[in-house]
Homo-oligomer: A and B are copies of this chain.
Amino acid sequence: MISMGFPTSGPTVADVGELGTIDAIIAAAPSRINGDDAAVLHHASPNSRTVATTDMLVEGRHFNPAWTTPYQVGRKAIVQNFADIEAMGARPLAALLAISAPETTPLAVIEGLAEGIGARCEEYAAELVGGDLTGGEHLVISVTAIGSLGGNLPELALDQARIGQRVVAHGKIGYSGAGLALLAAGIDVPEQLHPLIHAHQAPELTPGRGVIARSARATAMTDNSDGLCHDLGTIARRSGVGINLSSVAIAPDALLKEAGTLLDVDPWEWVLSSGEDHTLLATTSGQAPSGFRSIGQVVKGQGVTIDNRPPKYGQGWQSF
């Protein structure tokens, strides 16, 4: 089943007021920590370092209110922020949520968003610990994620790929792009392709893989937010190496192929250049860490190749 569409009726945020709206958010995503000038976080292990990242989602640009639900937007906002925390090898601890919303926004939109955030945070054993709420012409959501990097191993930085290492991935590649294309086509999508749409609405990654990769001595890591070639290209450039992917390892699966046939699109385009899968992409001198699979090698040279040839597609997302 595909759930989509934002509620358009019911009491608005102006009806219940700022405090009523904040109460609804806290009820949907409860935390003992929330409610003071700032949130105080307790690290699980002594001498942890703090890891932080932020992402902003703008209605009509990062999500289409006709094609998703507030709950899914909330889940996705957490996944994309926590993927950046995990990409350092850290454990997500907490999220902060700032919302700018028109006065006419149904309270149910904000509630759904907070429920999605709260539910996804819970799966990571994290909490929504604070935020800000303000009026505005459009719905804009800004999520900040804070994580904890315990122990003495270094963080998994973009410049730590080394020639000869294995390139490994955790999560689907190309699903989100295919799902978006299916939604944009405005067709009656066959049920077997619904997982692609779900992956676009809110990608599902298993929490904790970033910490596992770091424990298994991965060195560089990022997440596929702007496209496979774009994001691995960043690791390649920052590390001064090339990355050669195996076409067999990343080839479109049956679902991507079927969606490609249906829409008359080469599914390799989704695999290589569409983003928002938030697949964890790492390099390691050892075996693929638990939950990861090998997709290529770190090589001498520069940029990303597929079977030693330039990729057919490779443009990632640009904001302007």
| Chain A interfacial positions (CB closer than 8 Å to B) | 13-14, 17-18, 21, 35-43, 46-47, 49-56, 58, 61-62, 83-85, 87-88, 90, 94, 96-100, 103, 129-138, 140, 142, 144-147, 149, 155, 157-158, 221-223, 318-320
Asked if B142 and A136 make an inter-chain contact with CB atoms under 8 angstroms apart, the answer reads no
A319 touches B39 (CB 8 A): no
User: For A17, what are the chain B residues with a Cβ–Cβ distance below 8 Å?
Assistant: 318, 320
Q: Considering the complex of A and B, which 7 residue pairs feature the smallest CB-CB distances, nearest first? A: A142-B142, A38-B53, A37-B87, A56-B98, A144-B144, A37-B84, A18-B319
Of all chain B residues, the one with the shortest Cβ separation from A130 is B53
Contact (Cβ within 8 A) B52 A134: no
CA distance A223 to B42 in the complex (A): 23
Contacts of A87 in B (CB 8 A): 37-38
Chain B residues near A144: list those with CB within 8 A.
52, 54, 96, 98, 142, 144
User: In the complex the two chains form, is A134's CB within 8 Å of B56's CB?
Assistant: yes
Give Cα distance in the complex from A32 to B40, angstroms.
25
Q: Which of B43, B90, B136, B319 contacts A140 (CB 8 A)?
A: B136
A103 near B320: Cβ-Cβ < 8 Å: yes
Distance in Å: Cβ of A134 to nearest Cβ of chain B? 5
A100 CB contacts on chain B under 8 angstroms: 56, 58, 140
Chain B nearest CB from A283 CB (Å) reads 14
Contact among B90, B130, B136, B155 with A54 in the assembled complex (CB-CB below 8 Å):
B130
Listed by A's residue number, 9 A-B pairs whose Cβ atoms lie within 8 Å are: A18-B318, A21-B320, A54-B96, A54-B130, A54-B132, A55-B98, A96-B144, A133-B319, A142-B142
